[in-house]
Amino acid sequence: MDSQEDLKRCPVDFDHESRTHASNWPTEFRELRGKCPVAWTEKHGGYWVATRYQDVVAMAQDDATFSSFKTFDPHSGEVTGGITIPATPIPRGLPVESDRPDWNMFRTYLNRRFAPKAAEARRAKVRKYADSLLNRVIETGEIDLVNEFTGPVPAMTTMELMGLPLEEWREFADPLHEMVFTPKEAPEYPHVIAGVQWIFKRCIETFHQRKTEPLGDDLLSYFAHEKIDGRAVTEEEMLSFCNNIITGGVDTTTALTTHALVYLNEHPEDYRRLQEEPKLLPVAREEFVRFFTPIHGLARNVSRDVEMDGAKMEKGDRVYLAWSAANRDPEVFTDPETVDIARFPNRHIAFGAGMHRCIGSFMARVMFEEMMHVVMVRIPDYRTHPDRARRYTSVGTINGWVDMPTSFTPGPKIETGLVL
Amino acid sequence: MKVVILDERCVGHGMCRLACPEMFELSDEDGHAYVTSETVPPDLEAAVDQAVRGCPEQAIVVEA
Ligand code: HEM
Ligand code: SF4
């Protein structure tokens, strides 16, 4: 064994993007956590995998050692750093792919727009989108839960937040969902990417248009008018904000809500309990976020030699922080592999930990609650059919469903003031 | 019992508020927590203890 391999303790055959991992991840993580809590795999150019709660939190909190900073050269396509393994040849997301002190500036600039009060103020609109989407199908008794409900509600909420026209919700929702599960070699991949690029083009157009209008309530208007650090937001920064907000917020909330609805269908006693005790919903929500951990894991870049749980990490190494593995660590959670909708306290880290912790978590919580409420009230006897549905073939970034055929007793439309 | 939030650790998970809304508020500026009073009334001690155990950042400290 050469010295390089001596250093990379605990070599394992592991790839968070593989199909084996997608179908077998709880077992793979259980084994790693016990035997090799910080393990080394040669896949994707080599990276560490951290699976213990304590280690994942420590690394996420030590942002000086474990950097998120990314560079991308559009001419050569060369990428360094960032939070995805493998690295993606697109411009960085902000604030997520920045380090202090720049991160402070970006995050402070955005915080107010995502704080609990700002998220709460959007609740009525989220309800309206959910009710209007259900109106489209309520008389038929059938819905593809993912493509007609749990996907579009976050997409429309995000569009409204950004200031993009709601009529384009289909053009917005579809590529953002397809992008997450379409393999790069698939024939339809270029079409999906073109759809995503179109969304960013709409952001650029709207950003420039907002500059000619008075300051409004939407984010693109905020970016066009509100100075950052005493100067105007650049087009590049604006796109990086949009990238982070759109990709961070849309398919994640979709996955969470779909998983929860499937789970409740399979566990009628829990479903009944939630119907009888609606006050339990926020507690159950956190348990669903823990158990399903929509963002499976994200990467960091080691900026100095450091030892972590026995692993000698070197400057320049990459490490995958498996939020999903940490959230099932038996040292922290009793009976971690089962859902307990009344589990409390619940210190899961599905929204991350340390300074990059999800800025959109309050928005996500509002969207989840409103979608659940609308389903439980208007189609209470819904039946999901996971046997006819497709899972993502890779869960490495987002763990979700491609579609979810669902049936229910037809019901009446209700007035929402919005026809879709 | 007294309770404080370590500002340098708190990143706004909001789990404390879920445990004890009477004692923990979240800021409208950045979503970080602050306490409504440093002194915990006896009937809220159990809920504050849950907040301590529910905070992923170990940002809440109590003193007897
Ligand atoms: C259930 C839904 C969601 C989950 C599971 C989730 C998960 C996460 C995680 C794990 C991080 C940490 C990233 C890191 O440490 O590198 C994060 C950050 C972030 N999320 Fe979310 N997220 C969700 C919803 C949202 C929503 C709705 C939005 C926006 C409307 C959003 C926007 C962001 C942004 C901008 C960041 C970067 C924050 C920073 O770097 O300071 N997320 N999210
Ligand atoms: S749970 Fe902890 S980190 Fe989260 S808001 Fe409360 S004190 Fe802050």
* Among B3, B10, B17, residue to substitute to test ligand 2 (most atoms within 8 Å of Cβ): B10
Residues of A with CB under 8 A from a CB of B: 57, 61, 108, 111-112, 114-118, 282-283, 286, 344-349, 351, 353-355, 357, 359, 361-362
B62 lines ligand 2 (CB under 6 A): no
Please state the domain count of chain B.
1
- Strands of the sheet with A405-407, listed across from one edge: A142-144, A405-407, A383-384
State how far Cα A65 lies from the chain centre. Answer: 24
> What would the pLDDT profile of A176-192 be if each residue is shown by its tens digit?
999 889 888 899 999 99
Where in the sequence is the domain holding B52, given as residue range(s)? 2-63
Stretch B19-32: mean pLDDT, rounded? Answer: 96
Query: From CA A284, how far away is CA A276, in angstroms rounded?
Result: 13
Task: Centre a 10 Å sphere on the Cβ of residue B58 and count the other Cβ atoms it contains.
Answer: 14
pLDDT at A7: 55
Lowest mean pLDDT segment, chosen from A8-12, A40-44, A188-192, A408-412: A8-12
> What would the pLDDT profile of A66-111 be if each residue is shown by its tens digit?
999 999 998 998 999 999 999 988 899 999 999 999 999 999 999 9
Percent of chain A's residues with pLDDT above 90:
91
Give me the helix-helix angle, A235-266 and A169-181, nearest 10°: 80
pLDDT band at A1 (very low <50, low <70, confident <90, very high): very low
- B18 and A283: CB-CB below 8 Å? yes
- CATH number (1.10.630.10, 1.10.3720.10, 3.40.50.2300, 3.40.50.150) of A4-407 reads 1.10.630.10
Tokens describing residue A83: 């939070």
> What would the pLDDT profile of A276-332 be if each residue is shown by its tens digit?
999 999 999 999 999 999 999 999 999 999 999 989 999 999 999 999 999 999 999
A364 chain-B contacts, CB cut-off 8 A:
none
The residue of chain A nearest to residue B50, with distances taken between CA atoms, is A345
Rounded to the nearest angstrom, the minimum Cα separation between A363 and chain B is 12
Percent of chain B's residues with pLDDT above 70:
100
> What would the pLDDT profile of A323-377 be if each residue is shown by its tens digit?
999 999 999 999 999 999 999 999 999 999 999 999 999 999 999 999 999 999 9
What's the CATH number where B52 sits?
A: 3.30.70.20
Query: From CA A87, how far away is CA A84, in angstroms rounded?
Result: 5
State how far Cα A142 lies from the chain centre. Answer: 27
Say whether pLDDT at A6 is over 90: no
> What would the pLDDT profile of A377-403 be if each residue is shown by its tens digit?
999 999 999 999 999 989 988 999 999
pLDDT at A21: 96
Say whether pLDDT at A113 is over 50: yes
Contact A166, A156 (CB under 8 A): yes
Please tell me whether residue A67 adopts helix, strand or coil conformation: strand
pLDDT band at A3 (very low <50, low <70, confident <90, very high): very low
Say whether pLDDT at B26 is over 60: yes
User: Mean pLDDT for chain B?
Assistant: 96
> What would the pLDDT profile of A145-164 be if each residue is shown by its tens digit?
999 999 999 999 999 999 99
- A116 and B19: CB-CB below 8 Å? no
CA of A303 to the centre of ligand 2 (A): 27
Which residues make beta-bridge pairs with A318?
Answer: A301
pLDDT at A90: 87
pLDDT at A396: 84
User: What is the atom index within ligand 2 of the atom nearest the CA of B26?
Assistant: 5
User: Mean pLDDT for chain A?
Assistant: 95
Task: Centre a 10 Å sphere on the Cβ of residue A387 and count the other Cβ atoms it contains.
Answer: 6
Query: From CA A257, how far away is CA A292, in angstroms rounded?
Result: 10
